[in-house]
Amino acid sequence: MELRQLEYFCRIADTGSIHEAARKLNLSQPPLSYQLRQLEEELGVRLFERGSRGVSLTEAGRLLYARAESLLDYVRSTRQEVSEAGRRRVLRLGVTSSTAGVLVPDIARFLKLCPEVSFQLRDGASYTLLQYVLEGIIDLSVARTPLNLENVDSLPLGREPMLAVSADPLPGEGALRLEDLRGRPLILYRRYEELVMGAFRRRNLTPEILCVCDDARTALPWVEAGLAAAVYPRSMEGRCAGLHVRILAEPELETETVLIWKKGGRLSPAARDFLALCRESRQA
């Protein structure tokens, strides 16, 4: 199985058409079809279902696609890092949508000390970034609990409460309790659905859930339109301009933000230096 074959396979999957993939790759169709047959024969499985409107991935194809995309990303990252060796150091860093700003002060300090460093930044869910760390695709990642940290080392960055966010005024003043959200349609971030729903259940409360979303940012227009209130980590507050935002005074809903890296793994010099700076700033 060659990297070239994996790249061809991914482009066919992306376009859903061998003809269109060949055009994008500047190849004629027969050589591309031949490479696909060779790959399927080597693996002993069909990777695509052929139809009159193109091709679609089989179950085996979907598995290979997920692995191949990660592998090709790693190859591209390695190629760039090697080509820049001796000129710029590269730090491969992961952040989630709700933690994008957590390390900005550390990055600013780091660049003053190490101006030769450049960054490759990946964003995604904590679970995805954890896998990238374990596979060596990134050096370090910001993540948020709850998360299985068994195979990584971690540096605590801070704890934060959850917020209630609404287009309409929320009841009372000061911090809210979950009881204050009764009868109000809610949007939950899927990442914390179990955490929030568990807290409601322990209080014998049944919330009115309008929507569960995969990315907290995509539900903000729903909140702005007054369709529901949202329950978000506090680090989303900066994205909620013009909305009513209140802290939820529920300690069990607090989450911890951590910087993670592979346990026993070999960090790049840039990653080691950045980690040392982050440790120093938290101890100050």
Specify the amino acid at residue 278. Answer: C
pLDDT one-digit tens code per residue, 105-125: 999 999 999 998 989 899 888
Q: How does the average pLDDT of the chain come out, rounded? A: 88
* Three-state SS at 93: strand
Task: State the pLDDT confidence band at 36, using cuts at 50, 70 and 90.
Answer: confident
- C-alpha 175/C-alpha 251 separation (Å) is 12
H-helix or E-strand spanning residue 159: strand 152-160
Q: At residue 134, does pLDDT exceed 90? A: yes
| Longest Cα–Cα distance in the chain | 70
Q: Are 211 and 198 in contact (CB under 8 A)?
A: no
For residue 161, give Cα distances in angstroms to 190, 232, 264.
17, 9, 32
Q: At residue 166, does pLDDT exceed 90? A: yes
* Candidate from 26-35, 171-180, 192-201 with smallest mean pLDDT: 26-35
Domains in the chain: ranges and CATH: 3-67 (1.10.10.10), 85-159+256-283 (3.40.190.10), 162-253 (3.40.190.10)
pLDDT computed for residue 191 by the predictor: 84
Q: Are 257 and 160 in contact (CB under 8 A)?
A: yes
Percent of the chain past pLDDT 70, that is, above it, reads 96
Name, of 39-43, 189-193, 277-281, the range with top average pLDDT: 277-281
Please report how many Cα atoms fall inside a 13 Å half-sphere around the Cα of residue 252, on the Cβ side: 12
Specify the amino acid at residue 114. Answer: C
Indicate whether this model's pTM tops 0.75. Answer: no
Q: Where do we find the tokens 């101890």?
A: 283
Is the four-CA dihedral 180, 186, 187, 190 of positive or negative sign?
positive
Task: State the pLDDT confidence band at 139, using cuts at 50, 70 and 90.
Answer: very high
* Three-state SS at 96: coil
Specify the amino acid at residue 11. Answer: R
- Span 165-181, mean pLDDT? 91
Q: At residue 77, does pLDDT exceed 80? A: no
Q: At residue 85, does pLDDT exceed 70? A: no
Closest CA to 34 of 60, 2, 61, 79: 2
Q: At residue 2, does pLDDT exceed 80? A: yes
- Span 27-47, mean pLDDT? 87
Q: At residue 213, does pLDDT exceed 70? A: yes
pLDDT one-digit tens code per residue, 253-267: 998 999 999 998 889
Q: Are 5 and 71 in contact (CB under 8 A)?
A: no
Q: What angle do CA 146, 149, 150 make, to 5 degrees?
A: 135
- C-alpha 28/C-alpha 21 separation (Å) is 10
- Extract the tokens encoding 233: 């980590």
* Candidate from 85-99, 230-244, 252-266 with smallest mean pLDDT: 85-99
Q: Where do we find the tokens 């939820």?
A: 248
- Extract the tokens encoding 48: 């695509």
pLDDT computed for residue 88 by the predictor: 61
- Span 24-39, mean pLDDT? 86
